[in-house]
Amino acid sequence: MVAANIPWKKLENPDFNAFLNKHTNMKIPDKSTLRKHYMHSTYLSTVDKIREDIGESYIWATVDEPTNRCGRYVANVAVGKLDSTGRGKPHLVVSKMLEATNSSTIAIVVCDALRVLWPSENDDERSLVLLTDSAAYMLKAAESLKVFYTKLIHVTCLAHAVHRVAEDIRSHFQNVNAIISTVVQTFDEEQAVAITEANAAISYSSVSADLAYVKSNFGNLPGAITALEARDLPLVKAVKIMRGIEENLN
C-alpha cells in the first residue's frame, strides 16, 4: 500500500479490508499496528535499496519546497547517482513539513537527507551537485552547505530562470497582465465581477499593440519553459534551448 501511495486509513473501509483478507488469506492488522511495527522496517529496507543503487558513486541532490493545498510548506529532497554511462534513478529521501522556508531550514533539511544515506561524515565528499531554484534563500542555503560539503557545486533550475524572465516581462505590460488575471478569475463562480474588469481591460487602446509585441518578441518562452521541464532532458539540449532563447531576445 505504501508503494502504491494508498493511505493506511483505507483499511478502515470494510469492503477493502474484506477484499484483502480474502485474497491474502491473512488477517489485516489495524493501521496503528502497521504504523508502529511495520513502517520503520519498511523505511529502513527502502533506504538500503537506495544505498545499493547509488553504490560507491558520487551523487546529485535536489530540494524544493512546494506549498500544499492547506498552505503548509513541504520540503522534498531527492538524490541520485552521477553516472557517466547513463542517467541515475532519482530517489525521494526526505519529505518534511517546515514551519517556514528560509536558508536555515532548507540547509538543515538537505543535511538531514544526506545523513539518511550516510550517517558517517566520511562520505560527505561524494555529494557533488545540488539543484535548486534561484530564490535568494536557496542561494544562501547552498553557500552554507558548501562549508560542510566542500566539493558541492550549486546549479539553479533553468526553467525557473526563464520563468522569472517571463515574470519581469509581464511587469512591463500592466494592461495585458490585467486581462490575463481577470480572465482567469472568470472561471471562478465567486468572481463574476472579473468579467466586467476583463472587458474594461480589453478596452484599453494599447492592449492590441502590447499583445502583438509580446507574442512577436517573447512568444517562444512558454514553449521553452515546457521543454526545459521535460524529464531526463540531456544537458546538450538544455543548453541549445537556452541559446535559442538568447538569440530570439537579441
Average pLDDT over residues 52-70: 87
- CA angle 35/41/42 to nearest 5° reads 80
pLDDT in tens, 163-208: 888 888 888 888 777 777 766 555 555 555 656 666 666 666 677 7
Domains and CATH numbers, the chain: 8-46 (no CATH), 55-156 (3.30.420.10), 160-249 (no CATH)
Q: What is the pLDDT of residue 154?
A: 94
CA atoms within 13 A on the CB side of 108: 10
Residue 103 backbone phi and psi in degrees, to 5: -60, -35
| pLDDT tens, residue by residue, 140-156 | 999 999 998 989 999 98
pLDDT of residue 141: 94
Note the pLDDT of residue 146. Answer: 92
Strand positions, DSSP E, the chain: 59-64, 73-81, 91-98, 127-132, 153-156
User: Per-residue b/e over 149-172, b at no fewer than 16 CB within 10 Å?
Assistant: beebeeebbbbbebbeeeeebeee
Rounded to the nearest integer, the mean pLDDT of the chain is 83
pLDDT-wise least confident of 34-43, 101-110, 135-144:
34-43
**Which residue, chain included where needed, has cell 519553459?**
225
The more confident residue out of 195 and 218 is 218
With CA atoms as reference, report the closest residue to 178 among 160, 158, 198, 195: 198
Amino acid type, 239? V
Q: Give the pLDDT confidence score for residue 76 in this predicted structure.
A: 93
pLDDT score at 162: 86
Is this prediction's pTM over 0.75? no
pLDDT for position 63? 93
Length of the chain: 250
Give 141 or 219, the one with higher predicted confidence: 141
Q: What local confidence, expressed as pLDDT, does residue 131 receive?
A: 92
pLDDT band at 213, cuts 50/70/90? confident
Q: What are phi and psi of 27, to 5 degrees?
A: -80, 125
